[in-house]
Amino acid sequence: MRPIIGITGNFLEDENLIGVRKYYLDAVFNAGGLGIILPPVADEVVVNNYINICHGFIFSGGGDLNPFYWGEEALPAVRRINPLRDRFEMMLAVRLLGGNKPVLGICRGCQVLNVAAGGSLIQDISTSLSHEQNAPCYYPFHDIFIEKGSILHRILGAEKIRVNSFHHQAVDKPGANIKITARAADGIAEALESQDHPFVIGVQWHPECMEDKYSFYLFRSLVSSCLKYSC
C-alpha cells in the first residue's frame, strides 16, 4: 500500500480556493506515496484526525508566516499573510514535532517547522546573493553546502548541490532541538533537521519542481520512512 502523505494546502482567501501545485502530488507519487491535500482548519479535533489518517506530512510553500508567532512586528516587506493557514500549520507542526511521523517542510514549510519549535525567522533577506530567482522553477539557481553526517547528507550523498530559490525570508535562530544542516554561500540557512525526531527535515528550496536525482532522493526517503506507518 502506498503511504498517505498529507500536504498542507494553500488557502487563497479572496478566491475561496484551497490547493497545492501539482508538482507536490507528482513528486510524492513518483516516489511511491499518495499525496492528499489537507485544507487549513482551526479545529484541533480535525488536526488530530489528519495526524491519525496520514502516514507522513509535507508542509508546502506559500506566503509569509506572521512574525507574531516569534514575537516580532511585521516589517513592510512581509507579504501574503494568511491567518487561518498560519494557525492551522502551527497547530499541526507542534503536534508532529512531539510525535514520530515523518515530516518534510518545503520553503515556507521549513520556516513553519522552525518557528513551531520556538525559533525565529529573518523577515527580509538582505545579502549579495539573490534568493528570488527570475527563472523557471526547475532551474538550479545557486549552490548550497550540506553538513557532513547530517540526515540530509545521508539521504542525498553529497556535500554540495545546486538548488532553485524562491524566498525572501529564512531561518534565523533555530528552535529547540533544531539544527541547521545546509547553508548558501552567503550564510543563509537552506536546510534544517530535528535532533530528537527520526525524520523532520526542512529545505528552503523547492525540490518538488526540480528534475534532478537529489530531489527524487529526498521524496523517496520521506516515503520510505512512512512505510512503517502504512501497514
DSSP state of 107: T
Q: Exactly one of 55, 193, 206, 226 is catalytic; name it.
A: 206
- Give yes or no: 107 in active site: yes
With b for 16 or more beta-carbon neighbours within 10 A and e for fewer, the 141-164 pattern comes to bbebbbbeebbbbebbeeeebebb
Residue owning grid cell 508532529: 96
Q: Which of 54, 89, 208, 209 is catalytic?
A: 208
> What is the DSSP-derived secondary structure letter of residue 228?
G
Report the DSSP beta bridge partners of residue 192: 180, 202
Does 206 participate in catalysis according to the annotation? yes
Helix, strand, coil content of the chain in percent (nearest 5): 35, 25, 45
- Of 107, 110, 209, 226, the catalytic one is 107
Question: Where in the sequence numbering do the catalytic residues fall?
Answer: 107, 206, 208
